[in-house]
Amino acid sequence: MTSICINAETLCRHNKGLEQLTYALHQISRNACQYEVKEIVILGNDKVEESKILTICAILQYFITPKYLIKEVFRNSINKLPNKVFKKCYKMPIIGKLKDYLQGTKDNREGISIIKNIKRRKRDDGKVIKMNKNEKSTKFIQIGEKEMIEINEDNGIPLGVRVSINIKDKKIVNGEDIWGYVGYNIRIAKDYTSIFTEAGGDGYEKGILVKVGINGNEKPRSDLSKSTGSRIIYCFGCNGKEMEELCDEIVVGYGNRVEDAIVSVLSVIT
C-alpha cells in the first residue's frame, strides 16, 4: 500500500491559519482514505514549532476517529495542542470511505481500552472495586455507549489502545475483515533520513520526491504512471538536495500546494 510524506513547513507556509490548515488537512485525509493510503509521515524540523506538528497530526487523526471516541483518544494530549484546535473539524463532513467504520454497525464497533468506570465498579457485596494505580492493562472498552464493554480476554489489553469489538461476543475482531480499509497510520519524522530509517516492517521499495511550489515548467525526471510497487512513499514539499539524493525518483508539475499535489498524484497512481 502507498505511503505519503508531508513537509510540515511547506504545508504551514501555504496554510497559515488554523482554519486554512484544517481545510487542507481534511482534503488530504479524504483523498488519502479514498485511495487507501497506508501511512502519512509528517516531516518536522527546527523551523516548525512542535505545537504545529502536533496540530497537523491531531487533525489528521481526528478525521479517522469516531466522534464518540474523540475525548478519550486526545485526553492525554489535548493540553499540548492549541486552544480549540478542533473548532473547524466539527463542521467538516465525515470521510465517506470510512462512514461505516466511524459510525459502527449493529454488531461491530470501534473502541478504545479505558480505565474510566473501573473504580466505580462494585462487588456483589456492594463494595467498590479499587483499581491498582500501576495497572497497565484493562478489559474495558469504550464504544460510545453508556456502559463499557468488558471483553472476554484472560489478561486484558494495554490501556489507550484502539480496537474493533464484536458487541455480541465481546471479543476483539480485525476491523479490516469487517470494514475493509480503516484509515492510515501517522508517524512523525524529525529529518529527511528518519523518513526512511524509521519506517516499520520491511521499509519502502522506493521513495519518490514530488516537488511542490516550484516552476511548473520544469520537466519531470520520472513518469509517475510507471512508478509501481507495493511499498512506495511519495514525499511532498520536501525540496532540497539532500532529499533528492535520498529519493529514487523526482517528479514535478503536480500542483503548487501540498494538498493539491497529493490529490493529483494519488489520482494518477491508482
pLDDT digits (tens, 9 = 90+) for 239-268: 889 999 999 999 888 888 999 999 999 998
Give the mean pLDDT of 136-150. 86
User: At residue 159, does pLDDT exceed 80?
Assistant: yes
Supply the pLDDT for residue 131: 55
Q: Look up residue 44 and give its three cell numbers.
A: 518536522
Query: By mean pLDDT, which of 11-20, 82-91, 117-126, 191-200 is the weakest?
Result: 117-126
Nearest of 1, 7, 56, 2 to residue 242 by alpha carbon: 7
Nearest to 249 by CA among 268, 224, 230: 224
What's the mean pLDDT in 67-90? 89
Cβ distance 25 to 12 under 8 Å?
Answer: no
Residue 124: predicted pLDDT = 61
Poorest-pLDDT segment among 5-14, 84-93, 120-129, 142-151: 120-129
pLDDT of residue 200: 86
Residue 220 pLDDT grade (very low, low, confident, very high; cuts 50, 70, 90): low
Q: What is the pLDDT of residue 77?
A: 85
Q: What is the pTM of this model?
A: 0.88
Q: Which residue has the cell 455480541?
A: 168
Q: Mean of the per-residue pLDDT values for the chain?
A: 87
**Tens of pLDDT, residues 176-208:** 999 999 999 999 999 999 999 999 888 999 999
Q: Is the pLDDT of residue 12 over 70?
A: yes
What is the rounded end-to-end Cα distance, in angstroms, of the chain?
11
**What is the band of 127 on the pLDDT scale with cuts at 50, 70, 90?**
low
Query: What pLDDT, on the 0 to 100 scale, is given for residue 221?
Result: 55
Quote the DSSP letter at residue 122.
B
Q: What percent of the chain has pLDDT over 90?
A: 60
- Mapped to the 3 state alphabet, what secondary structure does 41-72 carry? EEECCCCCCHHHHHHHHHHHHHCCCCHHHHHH
Q: 264: closest CA among 219, 212, 214?
A: 212
Cα separations in angstroms, 124 against 121, 128, 149, 188, 262:
10, 10, 19, 47, 57
